[in-house]
A and B are shown apart, each in its own frame.
Chain A
Amino acid sequence: MQLSANEIYQTARKACLASGYPHDRAEDIAHAVSWLQSAGFDGCAALLDMLAEAEKGYVLAGLHPKRVGENIVLDIGYLHPAFEGIAAIDWLLAGQKGAEIKIDRLSHPLIFAGLLWQAGHIYQQAFILASWDAQEIIHLPNSDVGAVAALSCLKSQISIRSGDRQASLFSVPASHSVIADSLWDRLLELAAHTYVPESEASRLSGAGAGLVDND
């Protein structure tokens, strides 16, 4: 099924809300998913995977930065993009000197990559991701979206630092994308949990109510 970027954003946002995410996190994740779809990634499938986990009642674990030599390090044992992920990006964007995030296990890396790309664009700020053995170094956002695919292969032992500020970044315009019907139906099903059955009083106060319309 072909869908507009805004349809994907709105439905993803509602699906996140239905899964218990707060409004700000639902919005950020939905922007990331819509962007991933426009960039040619299967953001909706990744979102559904992540939301299945959220249904288990996930909450943000307390995070405490620690000074390590000249650096200040935020150690995250398990990073869920919507919770520790967004908090970690905010913390990095605060621009503290020597700030570094160390992630032992990264869940749903594609969604996290989408969040980093989006944040990078909004704040004109690049991020440098490196595996702890320094074998793999990824810059996000980058001159093409290949870096997103590279990050989505990493699942553990990653560190992230802020890179240089970037005046202009490669951007992907919002566009329609194709999503498997079964995935879309599942997202719509989730989104429907944010709707409230209309009360009789509410129905009677809607636009057009109470008038003869053949006037």
Chain B
Amino acid sequence: MTPLLEQQIDKYACGASLPPLRPVDGVMRLSRMGAFFPHRLSFMRVLIRRLARQKAVMQMPVCALDENGFGHVVLCLPLSGRIYSLIAYSRPLEDGARTDRVIATSWDASFCLFDGVPKPADIERLADEVTRQEAGRYDERALTLSRANKSVRLFQHVTEALAAGRQPDKEQLVSTGYLMRTTAVYGNGKFGIADRDQLVKYDGLEGAFQAEMLTVFLIREFTLFLAEYCASQKGGGTAVPLSRENRRYLGVGNSTGLGMAPFLVTHPCLLNSWIMAREVALARVIQCQKASPYKLQRAKDLLARARLHCLDWQVEDAIQMQRIHILRGELERLIADISARPLAEIAPFADLYQRAENASEELQELLVSVLIELMPEEVDALADCMATDALPRLVPQMPISELKSLIAEHYHWVEDIDFTQPAADAQFWYVSAAKLEPRLGLRHSEPGAELEMPFNIAGYIRALNIELAEAGEDESVASFLLRAPRHRNIIRRIQTIAKFPYGEIHDNLVGQDCRPIDLLRCKLSFFGASKFDPKSDKWTRITLYQGAPTADELAINPPEISDDWLFPLHPDSPSPQS
């Protein structure tokens, strides 16, 4: 065994001894990943907890909007002693130019998260760049870029209602859930903005995607402000602000497509750290031998809230709607079962989890989110383990015999694929010449497969196995690679996965049945997105920060209240008490 592999993380993670975890082979299947729900380790939750703990107070040092709400605004938020500012530019946009497609070149609003408080010269200089997004150039003081379009119908309804002195209609709020939707949030050095390696050293932005999450949080603040501002311009003294409940209910919409999916494949170490943290959290809760009456009641309350949330969750996609119908029924039955037959006194949460062992993956993964919620004292510190700078690395001294064992242990799922069938590699992933976005093509009928991204993991394993059959058992990987260099990429991946086992998806990513939407839901659940609303098997709409406290609540609410927004409900929902 090599020194590297002696550190196998099936024993330790984040410096702590690991409880028994769910098997990788069960968790890392696309169908299960495509059933994940947001949870308390989701990155938005982590950010809100940090902001609430610090009682952060947002300020608006610049508001230069005209009577129609066009102009610019600066929102500043201190985080761990450093000030971050969202510069928001609001512009008129013809209906014909409003598109969520990534190919758009103009938007209702465009944003830049800025390091510090921008001076007037910064705001003026960035105006020409930020409003053109990808076509602009930036420097390290720009931390992220984003843009958003109004949900025209809801934005208009909300401003008209507020201008007339009344709150917006509940049905309309529920059916949309946001005033604007973003179509991209760019980070990590894109177009000259700050590199992620730099950003993670900034106070308050440690951890996964925290700059991006902060950007969207401030965009939400901007959308709420803009709606109230437009209402006050229209209604004058008659206008009223949004009620606290409605403010909380409104999130930020987002359209997300294939651009997000390859990230999970190209960042196996990071994917492992996300999934591992969630699995460790689940295992710790399940191991809990005795629960207080408060925690038992909290479990029931969360299930009741989840039930109402799922009743609000309506989508057009037939497959997802069918799953939601099944989930609703299962939740009803589970809640009734717990009423009739209380959870076991010893290991009650293991009992709760086991009661769903024959249920759908949707219910099982919803339960993961519920269970993780119950023990913040065991779970929250795991958020610190969800960012890693580890990269795939070759272990050149490894004997071939050990490499073969790793393949047998971590890639046995490849044996289930019938490579003689065209379906085995029916699709290929590529980067499109239009806006450089990842796309999925049909290998046997579309051109471009020679430029595919290296996602045919199963195919590479199969090809490697054929050549390994001829290699000496004691030969080192480095020696093998001198005559078979084409396998270096997959060998490096295999050796990396041995250390980061939750970093590999155990499904054929180029197979005919691969549904990219499952990858999207997994990643979006870690962001904390709710109301997953697939529009095809390749893109989805979601809502971010729905139910989260707004900035004006952060300094007022006790932190545990600010942190309680799993499964958001619309303001007029019946009480979710069980």
Contact = CB atoms under 8 A, between A and B. Distances in A.
Interface of A: 1-7, 22-25, 60, 62-65, 83, 86-87, 90-91, 93-96, 122-123, 173-176, 192, 194-199, 201-203, 205-211, 213-215
Interface string B373-413: 00000000000000000010110110000000000000000
A176 B139 contact: yes
B451 interface: yes
Contacts of A24: 488-489, 492
A173 B197 contact: yes
Contacts of B396: 90-91, 93-94
Given A22-B488, A214-B95, A197 B439 contact: no
A23 to B, nearest CB: 5
Contacts of A203: 434
A122 B391 CA distance: 9
A205 B478 contact: no
Contact of B482 (A7, A62, A173, A201): A62
Q: Which of A63, A83, A86, A176 has the most CB of B within 10 A?
A: A176
Nearest to B150: A214
A11 to B, nearest CB: 11
B538 A205 contact: yes
A23 B262 CA distance: 15
Contacts of A206: 101-102, 257-258, 437, 439, 538-539
A212 B304 CA distance: 35
B195 A207 contact: no
Interface string B459-493: 00000000000000000111101110110110010
Interface bracket on B: 35 or more
Interface stretch (B160-168, B440-448, B567-575): B440-448
Given A83-B485, A205-B536, A2 B440 contact: no
Given A62-B482, A83-B485, A6 B190 contact: yes
A127 to B, nearest CB: 14
Given A5-B189, A87-B481, A174-B198, 11 more contacts: A2-B139, A4-B188, A6-B188, A24-B492, A83-B485, A123-B393, A195-B432, A201-B442, A202-B439, A202-B441, A214-B153
Interface of B: 95, 98-102, 137, 139-140, 149, 151-153, 183, 188-198, 255-259, 391, 393-394, 396-397, 430-434, 436-437, 439-442, 446-448, 451, 454, 476-479, 481-483, 485-486, 488-489, 492, 535-536, 538-540
Contacts of B486: 22
B482 A91 contact: yes
Contact of A6 (B189, B436, B485): B189
A91 B255 CA distance: 47
B192 A207 contact: no
B479 A215 contact: no
Nearest to A174: B197
A4 B433 CA distance: 22
Contacts of B139: 2, 176
A207 B189 contact: no
17 contacts: A1-B137, A4-B193, A5-B195, A22-B488, A65-B479, A90-B488, A91-B482, A93-B394, A96-B397, A196-B433, A206-B101, A207-B183, A208-B255, A208-B539, A209-B536, A209-B539, A214-B98
Closest 6 CB pairs of A and B: A207-B257, A208-B100, A4-B189, A6-B189, A196-B448, A94-B478
B523 to A, nearest CB: 13
Contacts of B446: 199, 201-202
Contacts of B479: 65, 91, 94
Contact of A192 (B99, B193, B433): B433
A63 B454 CA distance: 26
Contacts of B481: 87, 90
B143 to A, nearest CB: 12
Q: Which of B393, B394, B440, B478 has the most CB of A within 10 A?
A: B478
Given A6-B196, A22-B489, A24-B492, A194 B451 contact: yes
A3 B137 CA distance: 9
B192 A176 contact: yes
Given A6-B189, A214-B152, A208 B102 contact: yes
A60 B485 contact: yes
Contact of A175 (B183, B198, B430, B433): B198
Nearest to B192: A4
Contact of A176 (B140, B190, B430): B140
